[in-house]
Chain A
Amino acid sequence: MALKFQTPKSGLARREALEGYLFILPWILGFLMFRFGPMLYSLFLSFTDYAARGAPQLIGFENYVYMFTKDPRFLDSIRSTFAFVVGYLPLNLSIGLAIALLMNQRVRGIFVFRSIYYLPAVTSGVAVAILWQFVFHKQWGILNAILMVFGVEPIGWLVDPKWVMVAFVIMSIWGVGGSMIIYLAGLQSIPTELYESAAIDGANRVRQLWHITLPMLTPTIFFVLITGLIGAFQIFESAYVMTGGGPQYATYFFGLNIYFTAFQSLRFAYASTLAWMLFAIIAALTIFVFGTSRRWVFYAGAREDV
């Protein structure tokens, strides 16, 4: 079949197309200059030897070989990043959903709770990391003070390699309101008629949750999963501020590894190798999740409108 969209027929359509390109021109330029171009360049760098001076020298796969066979820090960052993602993502998905289900009930004053739950999600950055660093302080921190009431011995949250990941997960779950609010939007877009007819058919609350709410919510769960995945792999600021990657590289997340390699050791080429590795992992997992979505994501009246 001939490509019928190739040339717009009428002069009017041609004019519209031209104007369309003009409107998105800044974006196209930005995409080429700040996304696509740099992407290719860093891919190129990953096959070179380059440390911020002189010219990059092509060395083939040496950086990749080094990364997989010799670099202990690479293993540290793989281990810590995956530990964080595995600890954080399921909790974020399930707790966010649980809270959203609670919030979706008709209870007086619920909007106050919504604000309270959402607030931590919008506060981020260095100030929050500094706050949590103090919350986790072994001697003067409030978390140990509270646990003390239950007879728990003081824990060195940020200095003990056994506990530090737990600390990061706790801190991240503090921002669970972000996924809660997306779930809430999803819950409120489920047509109430579905529940009404289910109630008439004698379905109880548990069955309604299982057979209506969850299936109807799968697109939202999918969205929270994908964005959570992409975000969690890039964790940086909290670790940079609270632990600097320690103790004993237990929080030497991928982002930290890339940052330190690039801007402290000035090993630009190797940092690009690490960055592409991170990108490959994120892309592979995202594609994998997309691939599974056919089996479990349910689109009611699925349509592809533009």
Chain B
Amino acid sequence: MTTGAQILTKSSAVPAVRAAGLRVSRRQVVQASVTYALLVAGSVFLMVPFFWMLSTSLKTLAEVQTWPIVWIPSQFIWENYPAVFQKTPFGRYILNSLTIASGGIIGTLIGSSLAGFGFARLRFPGRNVLFFINLTTLMLPAWVVIVPHFMMFSYVGWLDTYLPFIVPAFFGNAYHIFLFRQWFLGIPRELEDAARIDGCSTPRIYAQIFMPLSKPVIATVAIFAFFYYWNDLIYPLVYLQSQMKFPVSLGLRMFQTAHMGVVDMPKMMAASMMALLPCVLLFFFAQRLFVQGVVITGVEK
């Protein structure tokens, strides 16, 4: 678990460098320079699209369609941002996305932590087989089940509601169950034993001992789930019909074609900037947790 926390904050020493001690040789300077040069070149490639997005979102339409390309707008058209809200129900889209995401997050936290606790801390016949089955579902493409899901939700009258997004979350998510299980495995047995001696029941051990000790993994799962629900396009596309119920992802897709046409790039980019902003902010504030989740996954396999 600690490695996860360290990845973004510390760099591990390459022993060859350490062995050389404090003496900085010319070779090391050259090597560091080459490393920097390569990393900077890569960073430029990665950051230019973001910069381009920001720059375009502040241009006039005329300035988008000029040659050679204008890197920095001659005048910052901040009005492009409020215009998105006037021309489309963007505020509504944001609200809808938040509704879906919060329902989904609460659901997956409850469902996944329950199953994760069962798999990690309680012994029962068939446990390993069932957990293995859980992991294999990660391989199952959503496409295989999407038609039956659609028919099922249509049958119970849940189409064009948020229930198909939120209700299944309460049954746990394979990946999140895995994350919770890994975390719970690391909590010392003694804590549990002591509680049992004091007469604490299993549900209480889960709710009052394990969950309070699991804030990092709860946060990690919540963030992963937020990203998932915020960015998801396939399910909204399949389940939702009325435009006022669309989340941001589907809303963006809509006015890519309908409202503004492909030509009004500045407003498209302004809308896209706003759609990305929550993810970017969350990433910077919770980078450590994010990486931790990835690391648990990668190292454990």
Determine if A79 is an interface residue (Cβ-Cβ < 8 Å). Answer: no
B202 to A: closest C-beta gap in Å: 5
A-contact 0/1 string along B65-90, CB 8 Å cutoff: 10111000000000000000000000
CB < 8 Å: which of A28, A127, A146, A254 contacts B276? A127
In the bound complex, do residue A258 and residue B143 qualify as a contact, i.e. CB atoms below 8 Å apart? yes
Task: Give the dominant DSSP class at B's interface.
Answer: helix
Whether A189 touches B3, Cβ cut-off 8 Å, given contacts A122-B290, A123-B280, is: yes
- Which parts of A21-39 form the interface with B (CB within 8 Å)? 21-24, 26-31, 33-35, 37-39
Determine if B191 is an interface residue (Cβ-Cβ < 8 Å). Answer: no
In the bound complex, do residue B145 and residue A34 qualify as a contact, i.e. CB atoms below 8 Å apart? yes
Whether A174 touches B294, Cβ cut-off 8 Å, given contacts A17-B122, A21-B124, A130-B252, is: no
B181 closest partner in A (C-beta): A306
In the bound complex, do residue B283 and residue A122 qualify as a contact, i.e. CB atoms below 8 Å apart? yes
- Which parts of B34-68 form the interface with A (CB within 8 Å)? 35-36, 38-39, 42-43, 45-50, 52-53, 56, 64-65, 67-68
The stretch of A66-74, A83-91, A177-185 in contact with B is: A177-185
B43 closest partner in A (C-beta): A116
In the bound complex, do residue B130 and residue A24 qualify as a contact, i.e. CB atoms below 8 Å apart? yes
A297 to B: closest C-beta gap in Å: 10
In the bound complex, do residue B143 and residue A275 qualify as a contact, i.e. CB atoms below 8 Å apart? yes
Determine if B195 is an interface residue (Cβ-Cβ < 8 Å). Answer: no
Interface band, chain A: 35 or more
CA distance A31 to B136 in the complex (A): 11
In the bound complex, do residue A276 and residue B144 qualify as a contact, i.e. CB atoms below 8 Å apart? yes
B104 to A: closest C-beta gap in Å: 13
CA distance A20 to B131 in the complex (A): 12
18 pairs, CB–CB < 8 Å, chain A vs chain B: A24-B118, A34-B145, A105-B31, A114-B7, A118-B287, A122-B227, A125-B275, A134-B52, A142-B69, A148-B68, A199-B16, A219-B301, A220-B298, A236-B234, A240-B253, A255-B143, A275-B143, A279-B143
Task: Give the dominant DSSP class at A's interface.
Answer: helix
Determine if A58 is an interface residue (Cβ-Cβ < 8 Å). Answer: no
Determine if B4 is an interface residue (Cβ-Cβ < 8 Å). Answer: yes
Determine if B117 is an interface residue (Cβ-Cβ < 8 Å). Answer: yes
B-contact 0/1 string along A95-122, CB 8 Å cutoff: 0000100111111001101111111101
CA distance A45 to B152 in the complex (A): 14
Interface hub of B35, B39, B45, B127 (most chain A Cβ within 10 A):
B39
In the bound complex, do residue B123 and residue A16 qualify as a contact, i.e. CB atoms below 8 Å apart? yes
In the bound complex, do residue A142 and residue B52 qualify as a contact, i.e. CB atoms below 8 Å apart? yes
Whether A142 touches B130, Cβ cut-off 8 Å, given contacts A189-B299, A234-B143, is: no
Q: Which residues of the other chain, A, contact B31 by a CB distance below 8 angstroms? A: 105
Whether A114 touches B15, Cβ cut-off 8 Å, given contacts A31-B133, A45-B148, A220-B298, is: no
In the bound complex, do residue A196 and residue B15 qualify as a contact, i.e. CB atoms below 8 Å apart? yes
A43 closest partner in B (C-beta): B144
Q: Which residues of the other chain, A, contact B142 by a CB distance below 8 angstroms? A: 234
Q: Which residues of the other chain, B, contact A126 by a CB distance below 8 angstroms? A: 231, 233, 248-250, 252-253, 256, 272, 275
Determine if A60 is an interface residue (Cβ-Cβ < 8 Å). Answer: no
In the bound complex, do residue B272 and residue A199 qualify as a contact, i.e. CB atoms below 8 Å apart? no
Determine if B217 is an interface residue (Cβ-Cβ < 8 Å). Answer: no
CA distance A21 to B124 in the complex (A): 7
Determine if A59 is an interface residue (Cβ-Cβ < 8 Å). Answer: no
CB < 8 Å: which of B18, B48, B118, B147 contacts A42? B147
CB < 8 Å: which of A130, A146, A184 contacts B7? A184
In the bound complex, do residue A26 and residue B170 qualify as a contact, i.e. CB atoms below 8 Å apart? yes
Interface band, chain B: 35 or more
Determine if A159 is an interface residue (Cβ-Cβ < 8 Å). Answer: no
Interface hub of A20, A114, A271 (most chain B Cβ within 10 A):
A20
- Which parts of A221-246 form the interface with B (CB within 8 Å)? 222-224, 230, 233-234, 236-237, 240-241
Whether A102 touches B140, Cβ cut-off 8 Å, given contacts A142-B52, A272-B147, is: no
Whether A234 touches B68, Cβ cut-off 8 Å, given contacts A126-B249, A130-B268, A192-B15, is: no
Whether A140 touches B69, Cβ cut-off 8 Å, given contacts A116-B47, A241-B253, is: yes
In the bound complex, do residue A262 and residue B16 qualify as a contact, i.e. CB atoms below 8 Å apart? no
CA distance A223 to B295 in the complex (A): 12
Determine if B125 is an interface residue (Cβ-Cβ < 8 Å). Answer: yes
B171 to A: closest C-beta gap in Å: 2
A181 to B: closest C-beta gap in Å: 5
CA distance A286 to B140 in the complex (A): 11
In the bound complex, do residue B134 and residue A127 qualify as a contact, i.e. CB atoms below 8 Å apart? no
Determine if B177 is an interface residue (Cβ-Cβ < 8 Å). Answer: yes
In the bound complex, do residue A26 and residue B114 qualify as a contact, i.e. CB atoms below 8 Å apart? yes
Determine if A168 is an interface residue (Cβ-Cβ < 8 Å). Answer: no
A-contact 0/1 string along B215-247, CB 8 Å cutoff: 000000000000100111110011000000000
Whether A23 touches B141, Cβ cut-off 8 Å, given contacts A17-B125, A42-B148, A114-B7, is: no
In the bound complex, do residue A24 and residue B119 qualify as a contact, i.e. CB atoms below 8 Å apart? yes
CB < 8 Å: which of B6, B52, B234, B252 contacts A135? B52
B137 closest partner in A (C-beta): A35
CB < 8 Å: which of A24, A130, A185, A282 contacts B294? A185
B253 closest partner in A (C-beta): A126
In the bound complex, do residue A16 and residue B124 qualify as a contact, i.e. CB atoms below 8 Å apart? yes
Determine if A94 is an interface residue (Cβ-Cβ < 8 Å). Answer: no
In the bound complex, do residue A268 and residue B151 qualify as a contact, i.e. CB atoms below 8 Å apart? yes
In the bound complex, do residue B234 and residue A199 qualify as a contact, i.e. CB atoms below 8 Å apart? no
CA distance A39 to B122 in the complex (A): 29
